[in-house]
């Protein structure tokens, strides 16, 4: 049976320029919410966002910029990938929508090629194979990971790059600004008094390969992708569906060689919205109700904001770092957790503990649900 392992990671968020810095700041509980800068703050009610300082070309190609940064970092751990013809799977919610907005504001034409991530990817991986872009809303990068995972399992490729990227756009920020009844200044995950979601900039890249491929090069293995569970419930355009989420969780464990009692940590989707956190907390409570020792919960959107299509694999990157560093990042801003998750440890400060198995949730509009199980790599595997 082919095992799929992680050998390289890269990321950038509002709190860090690389994966190590991001995770260090997650552990500190650093929140990246700041007064809105990239967009005209006078046009919106919400005063804050989780933005990166990168300006790009007058705001253009910001998503591509984050994508390039993350892939470049991941390549540093797996330099051989530069000469390999590997497929690249990019998950995104909004692609290069901000480039179109800026072009329209400046009354300039847009070259369609500038909206295609192939151009950005090939600038750092000129020998790569096909570049696939998936726009599965906020679950996009985990769906990208699922495709790469399957291709490796099926023996169709020995290695793949999985990535995610998104940046703030005026249209999406304005949409959330209009529909949110409150004006949150920060994302409060699974908190009773949560006020809503704020968007964030982010990019992430993960090198996946077969265990055999990594060992043939004596490549250091960071962690193993145990399984990926997906469901598409299509119950509502925006509202999450508890049975649909539970099916994704159940599917992940049906494929895995571990049980629910083995999970040490859950990186929740946790957007800080009224409906998402309520439905997700009920799904977790129902699935784990028979387990006496509940896994810890961490909500990193409190630090990064909602990075849309990149958010799932930013959670996977964090899961790898939690395993390697034996630590659960805190969830700042959560002092009164929802009743359904009061039995799940949610820490105000980082918590040191052995972390062997992590569940990463990512759910998107339209009922696209994804759950990735990431495990400590053991050469003998888990029985």
**372/178 Cα distance (integer angstroms):** 32
Residue at 381 is within a domain? no
- Clarify whether residues 149 and 256 are in a common domain: no
- Clarify whether residues 170 and 231 are in a common domain: no
- The pLDDT of residue 55 is 63
- Clarify whether residues 49 and 83 are in a common domain: yes
Number of domains into which the chain is organized: 2
- The pLDDT of residue 238 is 81
**Residues spanned by the domain of 280:** 226-375
- Clarify whether residues 246 and 131 are in a common domain: no
pLDDT digits (tens, 9 = 90+) for 26-77: 999 999 999 998 888 888 988 899 999 876 555 789 999 999 999 999 999 9
- The pLDDT of residue 57 is 52
Note the Cα 123 to chain centre separation in Å.
23
For residue 242, the surrounding DSSP H or E stretch is helix 242-255
- Clarify whether residues 21 and 76 are in a common domain: yes
Residue at 111 is within a domain? yes
The angle subtended at Cα 143 by Cα 365 and Cα 90, nearest 5°, is: 105
For 278, phi and psi rounded to 5 degrees? -65, -45
Decide which of 193, 216, 239 is a domain's last residue: 216
- Clarify whether residues 235 and 365 are in a common domain: yes
- The pLDDT of residue 181 is 75
- Clarify whether residues 118 and 175 are in a common domain: yes
Decide: 13 and 70 in contact? Cβ < 8 Å: no
Decide: 155 and 107 in contact? Cβ < 8 Å: no
- Clarify whether residues 58 and 180 are in a common domain: yes
- Clarify whether residues 301 and 280 are in a common domain: yes
The CATH number that applies at residue 210 is 3.40.47.10
Decide which of 216, 244, 278 is a domain's last residue: 216
Residue at 303 is within a domain? yes
- Clarify whether residues 180 and 282 are in a common domain: no
- The pLDDT of residue 60 is 86
- Clarify whether residues 186 and 301 are in a common domain: no
Note the Cα 287 to chain centre separation in Å.
22
pLDDT-flagged residues of the chain (< 50): none
Beta bridge partners of 165: 203
| Both tokens assigned to 245 | 């989420």
């Amino acid at each position: 049976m082919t095992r799929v392992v992680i050998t390289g990671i890269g990321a950038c968020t509002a709190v860090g320029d690389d994966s190590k810095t991001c995770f260090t700041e997650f552990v500190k509980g650093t929140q990246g919410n700041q007064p809105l800068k990239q967009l005209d703050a006078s046009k919106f009610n919400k005063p804050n966002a989780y933005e990166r300082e990168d300006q790009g070309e007058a705001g253009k190609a910001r998503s591509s910029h984050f994508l390039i940064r993350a892939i470049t970092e991941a390549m540093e751990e797996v330099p051989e990938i530069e000469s390999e013809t590997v497929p690249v799977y990019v998950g995104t919610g909004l692609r290069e929508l901000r480039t179109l907005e800026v072009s329209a504001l400046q009354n300039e034409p847009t070259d369609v090629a500038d909206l295609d991530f192939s151009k950005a990817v090939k600038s750092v991986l000129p020998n790569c194979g096909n570049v696939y872009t998936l726009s599965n809303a906020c679950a996009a990068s985990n769906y990208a990971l699922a495709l790469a995972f399957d291709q490796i399992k099926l023996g169709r490729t020995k290695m793949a790059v999985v990535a995610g990227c998104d940046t703030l756009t005026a249209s999406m920020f304005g949409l959330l600004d209009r529909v949110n009844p409150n004006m949150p200044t920060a994302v409060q995950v699974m908190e009773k008094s949560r006020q809503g979601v704020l968007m964030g900039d982010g990019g992430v890249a993960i090198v996946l390969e077969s265990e055999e491929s990594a060992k043939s090069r004596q490549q250091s293995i960071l962690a193993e992708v145990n399984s990926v569970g997906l469901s598409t419930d299509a119950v509502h355009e925006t509202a999450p569906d508890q049975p649909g989420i539970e099916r994704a969780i159940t599917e992940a464990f049906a494929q895995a060689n571990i049980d629910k009692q083995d999970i040490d940590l859950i990186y929740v989707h946790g957007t800080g919205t009224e409906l998402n956190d309520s439905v997700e907390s009920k799904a977790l409570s129902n699935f784990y109700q028979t387990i006496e020792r509940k896994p810890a919960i961490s909500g990193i959107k409190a630090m990064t904001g909602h990075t849309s299509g990149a958010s799932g694999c930013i959670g996977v990157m964090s899961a790898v770092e939690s395993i390697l560093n034996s630590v659960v990042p805190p969830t700042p801003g959560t002092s009164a957790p929802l009743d359904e998750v009061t039995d799940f440890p949610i820490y105000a400060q980082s918590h040191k503990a052995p972390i062997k198995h992590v569940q990463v949730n990512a759910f998107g509009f339209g009922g696209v649900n994804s759950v990735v199980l990431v495990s400590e790599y053991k050469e003998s595997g888990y029985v």
